[in-house]
Amino acid sequence: MCIRDSTQPVTADGDSVGLILDKGQWGRKTLEQVLAAQTELRGNGTIGLVGSATAATYNTATGAGTATRVDGSNQSFVTVPVTGGKAYRVQITNTGAASIFLRNGLYSEGTAIFLVPASSSISYIVTALSSVLSVTTIAAASSVAFTITSIKEVPGYHRTQATGTSMPKHKTDGTLHWLLYDGTDDGHSTGPITWGTDEVAVCAGITKSSDAATGVIAELSASSNSNNGAFTLYNFVSDTKFYFESKGTTKTGAATGALAAPVTAVLTGLGDISGDSTIIRKDGVEITETTTDQGTGNFGSYPLYFGRRGGSSLPFNGREYQTVIRSRLLSTAELSSLETFIAAKTGVTL
């Protein structure tokens, strides 16, 4: 599920994508089914007066709050503790005559501000940028009334991008859908993932649009060159090949043949640290297996990065149609099924 600018679902060609929800943690349930089992956080809300706000109230049982603002500064009236980097579904009804903000952070913090007009309701999925979400006024000398219907964590290792200009664009031709990376600063990242195994399977449907620079498609950790327990799938500028690298304490890699841009492909990388196997596949066919020693250890507890190395370098120039990453190797039947699924999303015939 793609979210536009960290707020509303992507619907149109050209929408920016600030959040992609990780459904892999949901056990084939719908979002509403998953949220039904999550702890309700609105009851943790507290009144946090700033400036000269007066008469603030908050009922932790019902989520109802009121406050009066008497000067020209922003006021934090209710703050709810959350965990930075995690995603939350927030529902608020503005029952008053003045607009309010749902702010990502305190009244003086954060870059994401969501307006809730008078006599209206919102339901947003937001990525927390700090340790609190807060409700504030928007107009001076105003009284506000609202009800925080619900704040619940959306479980998963979600892909996020807080900077609007660095959000990949959702594009469609009416049949296929893809993320468009500009080759400059677009990308997503997750929070740290505790991998727990020394195996990985990465399958991505992509189009490489340019050979002008090296571009990272997907990478665990900020750099597989410097970090143990890492893997990366990328295109290399010097020879136009795609590489998959797997590393315990020693990095090994497998490459396709030269594939000059523009090229569309289903790429699969398989890494097994203890088995000393690094494989890259293209369009359902194994291209190369490297059996050089990868050292020891599991894949580490790092963020996943998409479209850029560490969120700051080696930007990918092209399209991402679909990516699936598993923390284990796949059976022959599973691998065939996955590559067929990704191929259909990519417009590739295997």
Cβ-Cβ contacts under 8 Å for 126 (sequence gap 6 or more):
6, 7, 87, 88, 90, 102, 104, 112, 114, 133
**First-residue to last-residue Cα distance in the chain:** 26
pTM: 0.87
22 phi/psi in degrees, rounded to 5: -90, 100
DSSP count for the chain of H helices, then E strands: 2, 27
Overall fold of domain 169-346: Jelly Rolls (2.60.120)
- Residue 342's pLDDT is 98
- Residue 335's pLDDT is 98
Where does residue 158 rank: exposed (0-12), middle (13-18), buried (19+ CB within 10 A)?
A: buried
* Delimiting residues of CATH 2.60.120.200 domain(s) in the chain: 169-346
Q: What is the pLDDT of residues 48-86, one digit of tens each?
A: 766 555 668 899 999 999 888 766 565 678 899 999 888
- Residue 67's pLDDT is 83
Give the Cα separation of 57 and 277 in Å (integer).
61
- Residue 245's pLDDT is 97
Are the beta carbons of 204 and 222 closer than 8 angstroms?
A: no
The angle at the Cα of 312, spanning 233 to 323, to the nearest 5 degrees, equals 35
The angle at the Cα of 126, spanning 75 to 328, to the nearest 5 degrees, equals 150
Token code pair at residue 334: 């599973």
Token code pair at residue 182: 């500009």
Query: Distance between alpha carbon 323 and the CA centroid of its chain, in Å?
Result: 12
Give the residues of the chain that fall short of pLDDT 50. Answer: 110
What is the Rg, in whole angstroms, of the alpha carbon atoms belonging to the chain? 23
Strands (E), 138-213: 143-154, 159-160, 169-172, 177-182, 188-189, 199-208
Highest CATH level, class, for 31-154: mainly beta
Are the beta carbons of 149 and 110 closer than 8 angstroms?
A: no
How crowded is the C-beta side of 105, counted as CA atoms within 13 Å?
11
